[in-house]
Amino acid sequence: MKLSVVLIGLMMLFTSIAFPATVNGRFTVIQIDSLKLTVLFQMNTNTGTDDLGGATIVFSFDTIAVNFPTSPVNNVDYVFHNFNNGNYSPASITRPMRNKIWVNIDLPFSNNNNGTIVSQNPAWTDVVTIYFDIINPNGSASLTWSTTSPFWGIYDADNSTLWQTGQFENLLVLFQWN
């Protein structure tokens, strides 16, 4: 009898332990012409049942090939898809350093556990479309995730469980104009 009580207690303990989601990210080129490079940032998780809370996602871009404004404007320089308004505070893109972009998503604590469900791999959830100006049409542009940045953080909708960083695919775009 005591053994069964102990076993039931252990089973309850292990089933109540929540493991953080693993999140993946990628860039997808939407459009490219001689003036603009339009890139979509997407993410997915290993579960497809986790909802995103607050996040600061950092990546670098090649300033020799493309440019992005120092003070980017929502709906002009970038457009959020699933993480702007609704339960979220207005999401934003900032450029705190010459070659860095921060994707800032805020789910206020008052909306605890009311975030957007992120797709399960292999499906993808659209996060934000970013519009870069091409300044060197004879070169190539690269976007590189900064997953080891001290500012990087992607949280569950409880705003306290840090998601594990999975695979974040960098992007290299070759400009070829005839």
pTM score of the predicted model: 0.87
84 in a structural domain:
yes
7 in a structural domain:
no
118 in a structural domain:
yes
30 in a structural domain:
yes
Q: Give the pLDDT confidence score for residue 165 in this predicted structure.
A: 97
What is the token pair recorded at 55? 């996040």
Bridge partners of 133, per DSSP, are 36, 67
Using 50, 70 and 90 to split pLDDT, how confident is the model at 17? low
Question: Span 137-148, mean pLDDT?
Answer: 94
Measured CA to CA, the distance from residue 140 to residue 117 in angstroms comes to: 34
pLDDT of residue 2 exceeding 60, the answer is no
Contacts of 110 (CB under 8 A, 6+ apart): none
12 in a structural domain:
no
Measured CA to CA, the distance from residue 176 to residue 103 in angstroms comes to: 29
pLDDT of residue 154 exceeding 90, the answer is yes
Range(s) of the domain holding residue 74: 21-174
15 in a structural domain:
no
Question: Span 70-76, mean pLDDT?
Answer: 96
Got the DSSP string for 30-87? Answer: EEE-SSEEEEEEEEEESSS--EEEEEEEEEEE-TTTEE--SS--BTTTEEESSSSSTT
Which tens digits make up the pLDDT trace of 39-64?
999 999 999 999 999 999 999 999 99
- When divided into structural domains, the chain yields a total of 1
Q: Give the pLDDT confidence score for residue 139 in this predicted structure.
A: 85
111 in a structural domain:
yes
CATH number reported for the structural domain that contains residue 159 in this entry: 2.60.40.680
67 in a structural domain:
yes
